[in-house]
Amino acid sequence: MAKFIRTFLFVVTELLIVFPPSSLPTDTITQFESLRDGNTLVSEDESFEMGFFSPSNNSNRYLGIWYKGIPVKTVVWVANRENPVKDNSSKLSINSEGRLMILSHNKTPVWSANSTTQRQVVRPILQLLNSGNLVLREEKDKDFKNYLWQSFDYPSDTFLPGMKIGWNLKSGLNRQLSAWKNWDDPSPGDLTWGLVLGSTPELVMWKNTTEYYRSGPWNGERFSGKTTALFQLEFVSTSDEVFYTYNLSSVITRVILNESVYSRQRYNWIPENQTWRLYSSVPRDNCDNYNLCGAYGNCLVNESPPCECLTGFKPKLFRNWDALDWTQGCVQSEEWRCQAKNKDGFQKFSGLKMPDTTKSWVSRNLTLDDCRVKCWENCSCTAYANLDIRGEGSGCQIWFGDLMDLRVASVSGQDLYIRMPVSPTGSSNKTTANEESLKGGQRKKLLVAIPVSFLLVIMIVLIFSYCYWRKRKLKGNISQEEGDKVHEDKFELPFFDFTTIVRATNNFSSDKRLGQGGFGPVYMGILINGQEVAVKRLAHKSGQGAREFKNEVILCAKLQHRNLVKVLGCCIHGEERILIYEYMSNKSLDSFLFDSSQRELLDWPKRFNIIFGIARGLLYLHQDSRLRIIHRDLKTSNILLDNELNPKISDFGVARMFTGNQIEANTKMVAGTYGYMAPEYAIEGIFSIKSDVFSFGIILLEVVSGRKNTGVFYPNHGFNLLGHAWRLWKEETPMKLVDACLGDAFTMSEVLRCIHIGLLCVQLHPEDRPNMASVILMLNSENTLPQPKEPGFIIERMSINEGNTSSENKTNSSTNEITVTLLEAR
């Protein structure tokens, strides 16, 4: 009898396979049916459809689920991500053990579902639910309680409403998302997203197993680093399950991992416009990148640079910090000593994303006061906070070791109490964000201490104002004579004797001449002790007194950065103003870049390093709080290269010496180099840090292309390099700009990014151009960049001899690029 039934079933199955129904009327498949390529299964309310498909530009067949009602084919789940079928003859069926399989034409399994049950399965059916969940259940399971298998347990790159991200602790199932490798390859890419179980579970995104973004711990309402969302978010943590989910809402919405921009994006369907609109994406900004600012570093997204140490902390390595390398993080200005009097307390910081919870401990029962005690008692504890912020706040979380991945999160931030040396005298009420946490006994002591501390505060204020006053004097704002004295006992800058210089340069002989800068010729010199130096003889018309000049040189000599040429000293003799720099044997960037044999030495990594170095040096000039120098004459011949071809900016501060203190002003004297000058500077004489950014953009494009901006004309259109680059960009063939001598040996994405940044820097309007801090972040990250607008000066047609540029363009020396060609645009 049993044998007869089996045979009968076999015949029925085969019949169905031989004569597949043209379209399946229901949303289910039984064990006797199968889904062939070409047929689809549709959910009851017709919102989702399942079948075989091929990604746009790929002939492989995959089994997937997509929205039925949406004309833009949007696949939300793929079964055989890594095992595509090569032809149209495969089918999906349920095998005799109740397991879902994709079989190829010769009945070999291509893919099979991971069923969880061991028991005998009775009459399994496959059903596509209205939520987009594909479930395998026994027919008798009318309540949809015990699925044998469901696609929601094995997500691809899409997180649909009702899906869970996280763990089934009983079965060990961990539901994670992973991005498609690219737009036509559904196999798992580098970007993954899942829930990490720790003392407090967190959502984490990884890029190739490196932590890339973390949500912060769940605080009862939301994840601490996330902004509040419109969607009903839910976080469930029981002994069986820990997961994160969100509720169905009235809009069609999905969350996907997008490998091409390395982010998690939420799209909403806009029926009127028949498009998916990007609603939000994570990481939202650079501060979301995991631990950007290092331990105890605070990331402020609207500041540039974005990293600063928390109050009471200082950079661990100032050098790196100044060079925008924040990975080392911060250390406490004054160490706390475990349980020592006045050396061990807590300071409250508000509005923070909670630090990395890998090394932390939690308790739901403790109050905040108990939590504080708990932390204080353990000498490795560094901070504590409420676990749940709802109502008055409850629960306790304490951290051990350095606090990582902090940032200001104004909407969703919380209070964090960090262990610090807190003495009653330090408790002024001036700070706004950071308040003292004062409790019980400490408060009584404070009452006694207030008068004392008041006096102290007054003294500190007096001392600080005195220091500030002195500092302002250093800037040369106060009478010259006093300023002079202060400098001379503070800072030693060698003043060279004029005869020494004459001897070193062989009386400024022409064979010692290295080149001609915007402010005068440069000579090579050898001092008596054998040291090689570069000597810059400034043009006579600086209009500056000896004392002013000396002050300026001293200030410039104090600027020390690995991408700036070191100022060794100066020489004043009558009208002569001479600067002495360190000598760079490799000369300048233009001597490499525009020389057919030398340029081969600059491979792409070196070029990228040069671009990056210039950017860093320029940022240092622009943002150094003491001076804020605008270079005004940035060009490839002012970028010198050391032995390892590291770039060093020279001639900085010279412009400043010429104009004294009126930087950011409008000047009659346009002292720059045509071809690198921003339009507003060349035409109206208005200069700002953004005109330097323009020049930087030109240099960047020159480094990428190996061609000069001026002097090389593109016969078809009378454009300069800038115009040429812009044209290629508009034609979407920017790679044609790349220097042919690089061959294929470069990273495409890096080069494209550089061109993109270059074009952003040379936009016509200064306010559109990024500042150098943004440029550095752009060079460093993979976030999407804004589209550039049309650059300034794309056609060779300007003549600019308005101001007093006589000192620059009197010569026709080969290195002088001031020559302006008049050329009609055709």
Ligand X SMILES: *[C@@H]1O[C@H](CO)[C@@H](O)[C@H](O)[C@H]1NC(C)=O
Closest CA to 582 of 648, 505, 513, 636: 648
For residues 157 and 817, which CB has a smaller minimum distance to ligand X in the complex?
157
Q: How far is the CB of 208 from ligand X (least distance, A)?
A: 4
365 counts as binding ligand X under rule CB under 6 A: yes
Q: Which is nearer to ligand X, 179 or 721 (CB)?
A: 179
Region of 264 (left: φ > 0; alpha: ψ -120 to 50; beta: rest) is: beta
> Which residue from 232, 480, 560, 747 is in contact with ligand X, where contact means CB under 6 A?
232
CB atoms under 10 Å from CB of 609, counted, come to: 16
> Out of 119, 145, 238, 272, which residue is the one contacting ligand X (CB under 6 A)?
272
Residue nearer to ligand X on the CB measure, 380 or 560: 380
Q: Please identify, among the stretches 253-261, 517-525, 607-615, 632-640, the one whose residues bind ligand X according to the rule CB under 6 A.
A: 253-261
Q: Which of 334, 327, 371, 346 is nearest to 437 (CA)?
A: 346
By the rule CB under 6 A, 662 interacts with ligand X: no
Residues 20-39 that bind ligand X (CB under 6 A): 38
Which residues in 61-90 contact ligand X (CB under 6 A)? 87-88
Phi-psi region of 338 (alpha: psi -120 to 50; beta: other; left: phi over 0): beta
Residue from the set 138, 141, 190, 790 that interacts with ligand X by CB under 6 A: 190
When binding is defined by CB under 6 A, the residue of 106, 239, 250, 273 that contacts ligand X is 273
CA distance 563 to 320: 13
Based on CB atoms, which residue is closest to ligand X, 190 or 790? Answer: 190
Residue from 162, 220, 660, 711 that binds ligand X (CB under 6 A)? Answer: 162
CB 221 within 8 A of CB 389: yes
Size of the site for ligand X (CB under 6 A): 28
Q: Is residue 750 involved in binding ligand X (CB under 6 A)?
A: no
End-to-end alpha-carbon separation of the chain, Å? 93
Contact flag: residue 260 with ligand X (CB under 6 A): yes
Beta carbon of residue 386, minimum distance to ligand X (angstroms, whole number): 16
Does 442 help bind ligand X (rule: CB under 6 A)?
no
Instruction: Choose, by CB under 6 A, the member of 9, 15, 261, 338 that binds ligand X.
Output: 261
Task: Tell which residue, 632, 640, 635, 636, has the closest CA to residue 657.
Answer: 632
Q: What is the DSSP string of 161-221?
A: TT--EEEETTTTEEE-EEEEEETTEEEEEEEEEEEE-SSS-EEEEEETTEEEEE---B-SS
Query: The tokens of 665 are what?
Result: 């002003």
401 binds ligand X (CB under 6 A): no
Q: Residue 305, preceding bond cis, omega within 30 degrees?
A: yes
Q: Does 248 bind ligand X (CB under 6 A)?
A: yes
Q: Which amino acid is at 701?
A: L
Q: β-pairing, 406-407 with 297-299? A: parallel
Angle between helices 604-623 and 748-761 (to 10 degrees): 30
Q: Do residues 705 and 738 touch, judged by C-beta distance below 8 A?
A: yes
The piece of 266-274, 303-311, 313-321, 582-590 that touches ligand X (CB under 6 A) is 266-274
Identify the residue whose tokens are 């090579």. 524
511 binds ligand X (CB under 6 A): no
Please tell me the distance from the alpha carbon of residue 194 to that of residue 217, in angstroms, as a whole number: 13
Residues 110-149 that bind ligand X (CB under 6 A): 112, 114
**Tell me, what amino acid is at 147?**
Y
The least CB distance from residue 109 to ligand X, in Å, is 10
Radius of gyration over every alpha carbon of the chain, rounded to an integer in angstroms: 34
Contact by Cβ (8 Å): 291, 213: no
Least separation, in Å, of the C-beta of 374 and ligand X?
9
The helix or strand, by DSSP H or E, that contains position 444, with its residue range, turns out to be helix 440-474
Residue from 270, 338, 340, 735 binding ligand X (CB under 6 A): 270
Is the bond into 283 cis (omega within 30 degrees of 0)? yes
The one catalytic residue in 37, 157, 633, 651 is 633
* Identity of the residue, 258 or 357, whose beta carbon is nearer to ligand X in the bound complex: 258
Tell me: does residue 96 bind ligand X (CB under 6 A). Answer: no
Of 254-262, 296-304, 323-331, 687-695, the segment contacting ligand X by CB under 6 A is 254-262
Task: Report the residue count for the chain.
Answer: 826
Judged by CB, which is closer to ligand X: 248, or 502? 248
Q: Is 322 a catalytic residue?
A: no
- Shortest separation between residue 270's beta carbon and ligand X, angstroms: 5
Kindly indicate which of the ranges 358-366, 405-413, 746-754, 761-769 contains the residues binding ligand X, using the contact rule CB under 6 A. Answer: 358-366
- Short-list 442, 410, 408, CA closest to 424: 442
Q: How far is CA 182 from the centre of its chain?
A: 21
Taking the complex as a whole, the smallest distance from the CB of residue 683 to ligand X amounts, in Å, to 36
Residue whose CB is less far from ligand X, 54 or 327: 54
Q: Which residues bind ligand X (CB under 6 A)?
A: 38, 57, 87-88, 112, 114, 162, 183, 190, 207-208, 232, 247-248, 256, 258, 260-261, 270, 272-273, 361, 363, 365, 378, 380, 400, 429
Q: Which residues are catalytic?
A: 633
